[in-house]
Amino acid sequence: MSDPLFTSAEQKRFDEQIAELLTHYPQDRKSAAMLPALRVLQTLKGWLPPEGMKLVAERLETTVPHCYEVATFYVMFHTEKPGKYVIDVCTNLSCALRGAEGLLKYMEQKLGQTAGTRTEKYFLRETECLASCGTAPCFQVNEDHHENLTREKVDRILEKLT
Asked if 104 interacts with ligand FES (CB under 6 A), we say no
User: At closest approach, how far in Å is the CB of 90 from ligand FES?
Assistant: 3
Asked if 132 interacts with ligand FES (CB under 6 A), we say yes
Cα separation, 111 vs 11, whole angstroms: 35
Asked if 138 interacts with ligand FES (CB under 6 A), we say yes
Asked if 136 interacts with ligand FES (CB under 6 A), we say yes
Please choose, from the candidates 48, 54, 52, the residue with its C-alpha nearest in 3D space to the C-alpha of residue 11.
Answer: 52
Contacts of 61 (CB under 8 A, 6+ apart): 30, 31
| Residue choice 50, 93, 142, 151 for contact with ligand FES (CB under 6 A) | 93
For ligand FES, the closer of residues 17 and 135 by Cβ is 135
Burial class (CB in 10 A: 0-12, 13-18, 19+), 162: exposed
For ligand FES, the closer of residues 111 and 133 by Cβ is 133
For ligand FES, the closer of residues 59 and 125 by Cβ is 125
CA distances to 1, 20, 91, 101 from 104, rounded to whole Å, are 42, 41, 8, 5
Asked if 95 interacts with ligand FES (CB under 6 A), we say yes
> Cβ–Cβ contacts within 10 Å for residue 145, how many?
13
Asked if 127 interacts with ligand FES (CB under 6 A), we say no
Specify the DSSP class assigned to residue 4. Answer: P
Tell me which stretch binds ligand FES (CB under 6 A): 50-58, 73-81, 101-109, 124-132. Answer: 124-132
